[in-house]
Amino acid sequence: MTATRDTFAGLETWQIVLWYSLIVLSVAIFVYGCARLFLKYRRGRGHEKIGNRRERAIRVGKVVFTHAWIRRRDPMAGLGHLLVFYGFMVLFAGTAILAFQDDFANPVLSFDFWHGWFYKFYSLFLDLFGAALVVGLTYFAVKRGILRPFRLRYWRPVEPADALKPMPRRYEAGDWIFLGSLFFLALTGFLLESFRIAADNPSFEVWAPVGWAIGQGFRAIGFEDGAAADARAVDWWVHGVFALFWVSSIPFTKAVHMLAGPAGVAVKDDRAGNRLAPLPAGAKAADVGYAFIDSLLPKHLLDLDACTKCGKCHAACPATATGYPLSPRDLVLDLREVAEGSMGNRAALGIAPEFPDHAQILGTIKPETLWSCMQCMACVEICPVGIEHVPIINQMRRALVEKGDMDNQLQQTLETIYTSGNSFGETSRKRGRWTRELDFDVKDIRTSPAEMLWFVGDYASFDPRNQKASQSLARILRRAGVDFGILYGGEKTAGNDVRRVGEEGLYADLAEENVATISGCSFDRIVTSDPHSFNTLKNEYPQFGGEWDVMHHSQLLLELIESGRLRVKKGLGYRVTYHDPCALGRYNGVYDPPRQVLEALGAELVEMPRNRDNSLCCGAGGGRIWMKELKGDDSPRPSELRIDEAVGLGSIDYFVVACPKDVTMYEDAIKTSGHQGEIELRELSELVWESIT
């Protein structure tokens, strides 16, 4: 027998016509759903700057086909998804090849390739990848149904741990329906093949090992010939119609991530979060931030559909982990409900919205949820489909600030910054007072040119504990022969966190004043020990005309050691752990310099379980350091949880930080977590100074 098969074996002409009619209907519904999605995104405010399309296309290819973003921190889930993805894609491609043979190659080109060795290898290939699909789906069923990791539970921080309201229950049901539908497609596909083999028993179908094994099993129990042929006829329609229904449902179900996910990866801003968008020129109050769903950028509306509910952001968020009323996943899902209820496919189909006031997002998303965000970028960094949670939250905060909807403590701090130029409310003449403890004068770079402009920052200038670290750094620079100066009273807070609480107007004023002051000075480079200042000076001040070579002090210290300008006189021999600041690490990718400095000092570095891009936020970011406590329980704060992790490493001499806010947060956390006397905090500069003296 020739190795081949007839796609429409046993079907009458009217049945074949019906089949092609169903294909047309399925494609029409799919196209309609996609068109509605496109129209929804177009209703967003503004437009996207795509940039280099070739580079973005390459990125999409790498991310999608290697699963690089999905595999991060959960390689087994990445492998499972890889099996499902390639299993599905190969089976879909196999169906497309069959359609090409039946509908074009044979009738139009008189070219029949559907036989012989091609058919045998085709059968083998599809059987193996179909089996891979089933293995991957089984893994996810076990993980979701038995293992149930935290990130896959629809628990919300503002609700009891065992509470599932109707909407989360619908999400859970949707996940199982999606998983079950793929199982059903794979099962009916293998049964179709097995029934055909049981009925005809062609020897060449041994090239379809899974179908052959099941088919021979059917024959062994006497299910063969006519009975198997009848079962095949029924299953042909069941499998085919369900497959067409599944395709048509993609724009309306969880499967939409198959379209929106790659699109989201394509248009993701590589600098999302570390460079926020300024207000549009001439913006009116109604245009400030995201108050209504159609205020979102098209990219951010796309993000809502791209979400797969994988929960990686839910697990990574320090607010979620420590009892604050925020989950990045749930925020995205709630916004998706608003978008669908007001202008999405659900709205077009007349389905009642989940939230009655469905266009108003500030009524749907509670203010305390938005103010819980620490803008640490953990959610953006881990998201496998490129969702930009932090910029979305920031834009919603801008709308809250425009309405004056913020707690009194934050409002007072912003007023203090407006009147004094710093968050401590000190007069500008006190900004350089910390230098009086030094045995040398520090240049005022406004009047004396220098090689290096040191932008000190608020906490490093005014906080007594941080002043000691600033003095150590000044002594180090002096010892290394670095020609440096500071702005003294001319420096105002850089505004990184002012911008991230949503006060864009005040931030713009601060940035413009600092740019004007700095531009009037003569220097080669800027250094700062404050990662928050480092981020905004480097990434955002160019929006206001300030473009300079900006470096963090850990980078400068490493440069001075490697160049020989600083000589380590004694190896410290301490056993230390190092905390990666969010604004230095996730925001700017500076992970190695602080570690290399510690290595050069002879310290033994013991990494915490969460380090580098997985570092846990101290809790100060996004202006949280200026706000009242929002936690609803007595669980540890992020900083206390971090100290618990460090102490858990056993016999650590020092908890090393490279951020003034970290100094403040963790000095307090060592006391409040009950670990005083067990571990001590040191700022990186203090260890360097100890090693060179």
Residues 6+ apart with CB under 8 A from 479: 566, 692
CB atoms within 10 A of CB 612: 15
pLDDT at position 352 is 78
Per-residue pLDDT band at 635 (split at 50, 70, 90):
confident
pLDDT at 492 over 70: yes
Give mean pLDDT, residues 184-201. 96
pLDDT at position 354 is 75
Specify the DSSP class assigned to residue 179: H
pLDDT at 651 over 70: yes
Among 516, 468, 517, 526, CA closest to 660: 468
Instruction: Write out pLDDT tens, residues 60-84.
Output: 999 999 999 999 999 999 999 999 9
218-239 in b/e burial notation, b at 16+ Cβ within 10 A? bbeeebbeeebbebbbebbeeb
Share of the chain above pLDDT 70, in %: 98
Compute CA distances 199 → 7, 43, 207, 216, 235, whole Å.
15, 55, 17, 10, 13
Q: Are 314 and 329 in contact (CB under 8 A)?
A: yes
Torsions phi, psi for 678 (to 5 deg) = -95, -30
| Helix, strand counts (H, E) of the chain | 30, 9
Can you tell me the distance from the alpha carbon of 334 to that of 354, in angstroms, rounded to the nearest whole number?
9
Can you tell me the distance from the alpha carbon of 475 to that of 470, in angstroms, rounded to the nearest whole number?
9
pLDDT at position 16 is 96
Residues 6+ apart with CB under 8 A from 425: 416, 419
Q: Which residues pair with 527 in a beta bridge?
A: 454, 551
pLDDT at position 161 is 46
Can you tell me the distance from the alpha carbon of 295 to that of 361, in angstroms, rounded to the nearest whole number?
10
pLDDT at position 452 is 98
Residues 6+ apart with CB under 8 A from 547: 541
Torsions phi, psi for 144 (to 5 deg) = -75, -35
pLDDT at 350 over 90: no
Can you tell me the distance from the alpha carbon of 661 to that of 236, in angstroms, rounded to the nearest whole number?
65
pLDDT at position 165 is 66
pLDDT at position 347 is 86
What is 168-190 written as a DSSP string? HHHHHHHHHHHHHHHHHHHHHHH
pLDDT at position 157 is 74
Compute CA distances 14 → 19, 20, 121, 678, whole Å.
9, 10, 32, 82
Of the candidate ranges 25-34, 42-51, 196-205, the one whose mean pLDDT is the lowest:
42-51
Give mean pLDDT, residues 175-204. 96
| Top CATH class, 272-405 | mainly alpha
Give mean pLDDT, residues 600-620. 97
**Burial label, 110 (beta-carbon count in 10 A; 0-12, 13-18, 19+):** exposed
pTM of the entire predicted model: 0.94
Helix, strand or coil, per DSSP, at residue 255: helix
Can you tell me the distance from the alpha carbon of 350 to that of 341, in angstroms, rounded to the nearest whole number?
9
- Arithmetic mean of pLDDT over the chain: 94
Compute CA distances 178 → 148, 171, 185, 385, whole Å.
17, 10, 11, 18
Give mean pLDDT, residues 566-581. 96
pLDDT at 158 over 90: no
Per-residue pLDDT band at 159 (split at 50, 70, 90):
low
For the chain, the distance separating the N- and C-terminal CA atoms, rounded to the nearest angstrom, is 89
Can you tell me the distance from the alpha carbon of 422 to that of 493, in angstroms, rounded to the nearest whole number?
5
Q: Which residues pair with 575 in a beta bridge?
A: 604
Instruction: Write out pLDDT tens, residues 288-300.
Output: 999 999 999 999 9
pLDDT at 511 over 50: yes
pLDDT at position 356 is 63
CB atoms within 10 A of CB 451: 14
Can you tell me the distance from the alpha carbon of 472 to that of 467, in angstroms, rounded to the nearest whole number?
9
- Structure tokens belonging to residue 184: 């059903």
Can you tell me the distance from the alpha carbon of 602 to that of 620, in angstroms, rounded to the nearest whole number?
30
Per-residue pLDDT band at 287 (split at 50, 70, 90):
confident
pLDDT at 50 over 80: no
pLDDT at position 574 is 97
Instruction: Write out pLDDT tens, residues 446-477.
Output: 999 999 999 999 999 999 999 999 999 999 99
Q: Higher-confidence residue: 107 or 557? A: 557
**Burial label, 648 (beta-carbon count in 10 A; 0-12, 13-18, 19+):** exposed
Give mean pLDDT, residues 104-130. 93
Q: Are 370 and 399 in contact (CB under 8 A)?
A: no
pLDDT at 319 over 90: yes
pLDDT at position 377 is 98
CB atoms within 10 A of CB 536: 32
Instruction: Write out pLDDT tens, residues 418-429.
Output: 999 999 999 999
